[in-house]
């Protein structure tokens, strides 16, 4: 791309505005496929001591960047920089809860992308719901589904507890989320949980989407809401049921298929 050419990120960035969630989603897609000029506070590109610049907005940390050579020149940045794919920088920043701030020198102060959206870019935009999310207790009356799911969970040793939430994304259809708290994330255990969910979902009314989230995920906003605002509708420990043998990992493991699994 020539120094004067407009990047795909910049083409979308010009249209981003408050409340325009569709345009913001397009910006995230452009970031996932594009590249960014990251501003280095210390070190040179590729060196072990290289360190991104950082800034704080409303108590949250961001790494500032620019979207083209032209914007780099306009910014007046006089230290080093490195060019990185948007997906790679998202993967590097979000685990530390750092966001990305695009063109902070621009009129109006640029645009910030918080770390939960960088997580979506890194993990796959189609695998995590578009925020901001509106979360509530499920209103659908489906006692047969909950009763069957609890019964099946009692026969599935990997399951510790089940929680639920009604999720309304900024874009896309609302859905019922089932939070899975597991003793075991081995391949066999995960497959047993998948089988449990497939059997239970068969009694859900047609047209009601059901997805699952792993309660061990410390970054998922649906999980965080469930932990803070709800009680499990199935809890093996509270019911006094037998737990698996000790030594089974209690964290989300690499065999869990994705942060969000639909049925």
CA 101 remoteness from chain centre: 18
Structure tokens at 168: 């309304």
* Phi and psi angles of residue 240, each rounded to the nearest 5 degrees, phi first: 80, 20
For the residues 185-199, what does the mean pLDDT come to? 96
The CATH homologous superfamily of the domain defined by 8-123? Uncharacterised protein PF11572, DUF3234 (3.40.1350.90)
CA-to-CA distance for 19 and 170, rounded, in angstroms? 10
For the residues 34-49, what does the mean pLDDT come to? 92
Which among 21, 217, 229 has a CA at the least distance from the CA of 132? 21
List residues bridging with 159 in a β-sheet.
Answer: 182
pLDDT for residue 115: 96
Model confidence band, residue 254 (pLDDT cutoffs 50, 70, 90): very low
Model confidence band, residue 238 (pLDDT cutoffs 50, 70, 90): confident
Q: What percent of the chain has pLDDT over 70?
A: 88
pLDDT at 109 over 60: yes
Numbered ranges of CATH 3.40.1350.90 in the chain: 8-123
Numbered ranges of CATH 3.30.300 in the chain: 134-262
pLDDT for residue 8: 87
pLDDT for residue 4: 55
The domain made up of 134-262 is a member of CATH 3.30.300: yes
């Amino acid at each position: 791309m020539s120094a004067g050419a407009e990047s795909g990120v910049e083409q979308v960035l010009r249209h981003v505005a408050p409340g325009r969630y569709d345009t913001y989603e397009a910006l995230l897609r452009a970031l996932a496929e594009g590249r960014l000029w990251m501003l280095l506070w210390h070190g040179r590109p590729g060196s072990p001591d290289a360190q991104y610049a950082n800034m704080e907005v409303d108590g949250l940390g961001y790494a500032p960047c620019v979207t083209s050579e032209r914007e780099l020149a306009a910014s007046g940045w006089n230290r080093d920089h490195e060019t990185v794919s948007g997906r790679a920088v998202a993967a590097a920043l979000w685990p530390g809860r750092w966001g990305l701030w695009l063109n902070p020198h621009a009129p109006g102060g640029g645009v910030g992308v918080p770390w939960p959206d960088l997580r979506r870019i890194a993990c796959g935009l189609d695998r995590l719901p578009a925020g901001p999310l509106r979360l509530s207790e499920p209103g659908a009356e489906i006692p047969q589904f909950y009763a069957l799911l609890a019964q099946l969970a009692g026969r599935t040793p990997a399951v510790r507890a089940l929680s639920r939430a009604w999720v309304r994304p900024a874009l896309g259809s609302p859905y019922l989320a089932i939070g899975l708290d597991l003793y075991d994330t081995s391949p066999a255990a995960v497959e047993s949980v998948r089988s449990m969910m497939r059997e239970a979902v068969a009694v859900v009314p047609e047209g009601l989407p059901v997805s699952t989230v792993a309660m061990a995920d410390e970054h998922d906003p649906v999980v965080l809401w469930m932990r803070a605002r709800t009680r499990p509708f199935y809890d093996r420990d509270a019911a006094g049921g037998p737990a698996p043998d000790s030594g089974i990992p209690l964290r989300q493991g690499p065999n869990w298929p994705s942060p969000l699994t639909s049925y």
